[in-house]
């Protein structure tokens, strides 16, 4: 594997964000990167690494940006609520030339592994892999992009990566579209857990069709952003239904083998907020973080202005009779 180190940008403490008295009440975690001049962060992924929490998120293009297109920002926290930006990944190589974003993160063998997508290449966008020993500077996999789907049922694009260990394999979940580029669907691939996750190590487990496709009215024409969790031997997929701001909302499906999934409800598990709330335009792009103490947290993105701004937030998750339940927010 080619080891090209990517240095983090200078440390940056975000300025405080003030709110007018008549602004909607905001949740305990309410994070956005303001480097562009407005609050804008999407696609959260969280790990605990070396006694700190690391948050990876998508950072959009803006005038004067030192990197081209989208890239990935990095923040840390001691309590999962209060986050401080500490860096960002820069474009590396031809694969990332047009931009990259939507990270999935996991800690394996003392390293943080990111699985993320290229952006700006239309149907040629694909999944890439990088790893880090400090959570900030990442080494790219020399075979990037490591995965794009095959089969006549899809357009060849793969985005919104998330990974989870399952037996002796690492399962990689991704979203793709139909050949007409209209309907977003879910797929899954696998690689040996003890491999380097290079392109030749991945096997597409759904060669003949999607593992989950939009069927319910609120899902419209989009299921994306799989967020995986394990509970009592079963795999749970928290997923985003609907394209951004339609509104996008979060549903849940369950599987015993990681390939065949059944929805737990016909209604969203985490809907967008009511009119006037901070997330009235959507609650979208989930990431399920399972902490070392056994507590689970659902991270997600939201806004109330149809995407002019984007904030990241989180809600605690409990379990009852094999079903996830939303818990009241708490302080740590």
Mean pLDDT, rounded, for 167-193: 98
Q: What is the reported pLDDT for 329?
A: 72
pLDDT above 60: residue 19: no
Interval 22-45: pLDDT, tens = 456 889 999 999 999 999 999 999
Mean pLDDT, rounded, for 238-256: 98
Q: Is 243 exposed, middle or buried (0-12, 13-18, 19+ CB in 10 A)?
A: middle
Domains and CATH numbers, the chain: 101-326 (2.115.10.20)
Please state whether the peptide bond connecting residue 247 to the residue before it is cis, i.e. omega within 30 degrees of 0.
yes
- DSSP calls for 274-321: PTTSTTSSEEEEEEEEE-TTS-EEEEEEEESSTTSSBEEEEEEEEEET
Residue 99, SS3 per DSSP:
coil
Mean pLDDT, rounded, for 3-14: 33
Q: What gap in Å lies between CA 283 and CA 304, rounded to an integer?
A: 10
Q: What gap in Å lies between CA 233 and CA 108, rounded to an integer?
A: 20
Q: What gap in Å lies between CA 48 and CA 287, rounded to an integer?
A: 14
**Residue 252 phi, psi dihedral angles, 5° rounding:** -140, 140
Whole-prediction pTM: 0.92
Q: Is 117 within 8 Å of 102 (Cβ atoms)?
A: yes
Instruction: Give which of 265, 310, 262, 252 is closest to 283, Cα–Cα.
Output: 310
Instruction: Give which of 219, 159, 151, 217 is closest to 186, Cα–Cα.
Output: 159
Interval 248-296: pLDDT, tens = 999 999 999 999 999 999 999 999 999 999 999 999 999 999 999 999 9
Interval 130-139: pLDDT, tens = 999 999 999 9
Q: What is the DSSP letter of 210?
A: -
Q: Which residue has the tokens 């985490």?
A: 270
Pairing of strands 203-204, 184-192: antiparallel
Q: What is the reported pLDDT for 1?
A: 37
């Amino acid at each position: 594997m080619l080891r090209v180190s990517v240095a983090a940008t200078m440390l940056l403490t975000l300025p405080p964000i003030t709110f007018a008295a008549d602004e909607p009440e905001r949740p305990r975690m309410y994070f956005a990167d303001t480097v562009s001049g407005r609050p804008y962060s999407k696609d959260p992924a969280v790990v605990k690494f070396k006694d700190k929490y690391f948050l990876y998120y998508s950072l959009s293009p803006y005038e004067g940006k030192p990197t081209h297109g989208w890239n990935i920002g990095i923040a840390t926290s001691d309590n999962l609520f209060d986050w401080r930006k500490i860096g960002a990944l820069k474009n590396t190589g031809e694969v990332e030339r047009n931009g990259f974003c939507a990270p999935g993160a996991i800690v394996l063998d003392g390293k943080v592994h990111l699985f993320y997508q290229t952006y700006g290449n239309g149907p040629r966008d694909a999944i890439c892999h990088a790893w880090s020993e400090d959570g900030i500077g990442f080494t790219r996999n020399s075979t990037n992009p490591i995965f794009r789907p095959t089969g006549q049922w899809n357009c060849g694009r793969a985005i919104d990566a998330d990974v989870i260990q399952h037996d002796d394999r690492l399962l990689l979940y991704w979203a793709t579209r139909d050949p007409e580029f209209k309907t977003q669907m879910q797929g899954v691939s696998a690689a040996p857990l003890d491999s380097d996750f290079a392109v030749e190590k991945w096997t597409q487990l759904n060669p003949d069709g999607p593992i989950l496709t939009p069927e319910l009215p609120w899902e419209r024409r989009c299921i994306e952003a799989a967020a995986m969790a394990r509970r009592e031997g079963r795999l749970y997929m928290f997923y985003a239904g609907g394209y951004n701001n339609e509104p996008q909302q979060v549903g849940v499906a369950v599987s015993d083998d990681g390939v065949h999934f059944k929805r737990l409800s016909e209604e969203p598990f985490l809907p967008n907020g009511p009119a006037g709330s901070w997330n009235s335009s959507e609650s979208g792009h989930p990431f399920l973080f399972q902490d070392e103490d056994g507590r689970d947290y659902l991270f997600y993105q939201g806004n109330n202005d149809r995407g002019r701004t984007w904030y990241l937030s989180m809600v605690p998750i409990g379990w009852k009779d094999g079903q996830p339940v939303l818990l009241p927010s708490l302080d740590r």
